[in-house]
C-alpha cells in the first residue's frame, strides 16, 4: 500500500474523530422491548423470555432463552423477562455514555399486559403499579407517616426523582429532535408523579393543591405546610411525656404501657432518647406507693435496659398482689360494753 495513502487515512481519522453518523429519521434514543411465553415446553415447565434493543432504528442487542426458574404465572414470567431486559438496558446505558452524549442517559422499565418496553425517561404504566401498595389518602393528619409511604410508593414506580429534579434545560441554539423528545418525556413523567401525589390526597386537599404545576412544587408545598404543623405535634408529645405521672389508682403495668406509647410517639417524631434516659424517666414516674422500690432501683449500679425494668416492675407488682391475697380483708375489731 502506498505510504501517502496511509498517511492521508491517518490524518483523516485524526481530524474526524469527533464526527459521528446521525440519521435524522430516528431519534438517538435506546429503545427496548421484551416479552415472555409462559411454559412453552410442557416437558420442563420453563417459560421463554427475550428482548431486543435498537438505537437509531438499528438493532444493537437481542436475546431469546429459557428462564432459569419456573414461573408460577404469566405475570411472574413477564417480570422475570423484564428483570433480564433491565439488566441489559443498564449495561447499554453505561456503555453508551462515553460514545455519545446525545444518547439518552436514562431508561425506565415500562410494563404492559404482554410487552415490557424500556425507553428514555418514560415512567411505568398503571398495569405495573398494581403490584405496589398504594398509601391511604392524606387528610391532614400524620403527614410524616403519609409522606414516607408516598415516597416509597413513588420509588417503586421509579418516579421519586421527579420530586427534586427540574425540567431539562435546552439552549436556544441547540433545539433538535432528540432534545425536544427528552423534554417531552420528562414532562410526561413529571405529570404522572404530580397526579399520583394529588390522587393520594382527600378531595378537599386535592382542590387546594391541584394548581401546582410540577411534582416538585406540589411536594414542597405540602412539606412546608404540614411539617410546621408536625412541629406543633412534636411539642404536644413532649409536653405529654413531661406531665405524665403514675398514680396508685391504676396498676403499674398499665401505666408503664401508656408511657411506652408516649415514648414511641416521641421516636416517631424523630427525637431520639437514649435507653438510659428512658429507664431513669420511667423509674422517676413510678407512683408514691412504690417509693421504696424506686429508691432501690435508683441506687443500683448496674445498667438496666427497658426490658429489664419492665420485668422487675411486673415481678414487684405480682408480689404485692400476692401479699394482699394472703393477708385477706381487714377485720373489724369492736369492744362490747354491757350496760346495767
Question: What pLDDT digit, counting tens, does each position of 195-234 carry?
Answer: 989 999 998 888 889 889 999 999 999 988 887 655 556 6
Count CB neighbours of 188 within 10 A.
Answer: 13
Number of domains in the chain: 3
Record the pTM. Answer: 0.40
Rg (CA), the chain: 34
What average pLDDT is seen over the chain?
Answer: 76
Residue 308 has pLDDT above 80, yes or no: yes
Coil vs helix vs strand at 32: strand
89 shares its domain with 150: no
Q: What is the pLDDT of residue 232?
A: 58
Q: What is the pLDDT of residue 274?
A: 86
Residue 303 has pLDDT above 50, yes or no: yes
More confident residue, 104 or 242: 242
Model confidence band, residue 336 (pLDDT cutoffs 50, 70, 90): very low
- C-alpha 197/C-alpha 213 separation (Å) is 12
Percent of residues, the chain, with pLDDT higher than 70: 75
Q: What is the pLDDT of residue 333?
A: 47
107 shares its domain with 131: no
Model confidence band, residue 305 (pLDDT cutoffs 50, 70, 90): confident
219 shares its domain with 160: yes
Q: What is the pLDDT of residue 113?
A: 34
Is there a domain that residue 17 lies in? no
Mean pLDDT of 58-64: 87
Note whether 102 and 56 are within 8 A (CB). no
227 shares its domain with 130: yes
Q: Nearest-CA neighbor of 113 among 71, 64, 78?
A: 78
Q: What is the pLDDT of residue 125?
A: 39
102 shares its domain with 187: no
135 shares its domain with 225: yes
C-alpha cell at 101: 452524549
Is there a domain that residue 209 lies in? yes
Q: What is the pLDDT of residue 219?
A: 92
Mean pLDDT of 88-112: 57
Is there a domain that residue 3 lies in? no
102 shares its domain with 131: no
Indicate the burial class of 280 (C-beta count within 10 angstroms; 0-12, 13-18, 19 or more). Answer: middle
Q: Which domain holds residue 256?
A: 244-326
Coil vs helix vs strand at 241: helix
Mean pLDDT of 96-111: 47
41, β-bridge pairs: 46
231 shares its domain with 143: yes
Amino acid at each position: 500500500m502506498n505510504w501517502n495513502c496511509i498517511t492521508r487515512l491517518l490524518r483523516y481519522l485524526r481530524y474526524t474523530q469527533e464526527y459521528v453518523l446521525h440519521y435524522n429519521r430516528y431519534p438517538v434514543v435506546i429503545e427496548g422491548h421484551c416479552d415472555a411465553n409462559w411454559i412453552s415446553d410442557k416437558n420442563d415447565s420453563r417459560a421463554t423470555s427475550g428482548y431486543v434493543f435498537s438505537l437509531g432504528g438499528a438493532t444493537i442487542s437481542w436475546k431469546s432463552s429459557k428462564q432459569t426458574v419456573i414461573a408460577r404465572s404469566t405475570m411472574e414470567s413477564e417480570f422475570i423477562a423484564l428483570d433480564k431486559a433491565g439488566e441489559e438496558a443498564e449495561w447499554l446505558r453505561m456503555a453508551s455514555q462515553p460514545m455519545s452524549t446525545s444518547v439518552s442517559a436514562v431508561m425506565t422499565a415500562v410494563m404492559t399486559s404482554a410487552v415490557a418496553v424500556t425507553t428514555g425517561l418514560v415512567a411505568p404504566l398503571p398495569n405495573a403499579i398494581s403490584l405496589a401498595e398504594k398509601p391511604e389518602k392524606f387528610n391532614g393528619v400524620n403527614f410524616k407517616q403519609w409522606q414516607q409511604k408516598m415516597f416509597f410508593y413513588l420509588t417503586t414506580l421509579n418516579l421519586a426523582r421527579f420530586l427534586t429534579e427540574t425540567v431539562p434545560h435546552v439552549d436556544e441554539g441547540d433545539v433538535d429532535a432528540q432534545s425536544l423528545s427528552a423534554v417531552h418525556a420528562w414532562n410526561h413523567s413529571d405529570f404522572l408523579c404530580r397526579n399520583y401525589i394529588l390522587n393520594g390526597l382527600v378531595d378537599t386537599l386535592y382542590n387546594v393543591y391541584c394548581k401546582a404545576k410540577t411534582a416538585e412544587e406540589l411536594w414542597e408545598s405540602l412539606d412546608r405546610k404540614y411539617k410546621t404543623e408536625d412541629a406543633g405535634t412534636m411539642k404536644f408529645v413532649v409536653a405529654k411525656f413531661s406531665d405524665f405521672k403514675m398514680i396508685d389508682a391504676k396498676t403499674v403495668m398499665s401505666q408503664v404501657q401508656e408511657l411506652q406509647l408516649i415514648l414511641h410517639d416521641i421516636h416517631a417524631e424523630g427525637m431520639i432518647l437514649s435507653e438510659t434516659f428512658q429507664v431513669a424517666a420511667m423509674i422517676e414516674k413510678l407512683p408514691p406507693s412504690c417509693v421504696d422500690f424506686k429508691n432501690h432501683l435508683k441506687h443500683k449500679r448496674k445498667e438496666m435496659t427497658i426490658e429489664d425494668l419492665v420485668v422487675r416492675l411486673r415481678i414487684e407488682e405480682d408480689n404485692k398482689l400476692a401479699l394482699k391475697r394472703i393477708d385477706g380483708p381487714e377485720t373489724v375489731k369492736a369492744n362490747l360494753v354491757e350496760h346495767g
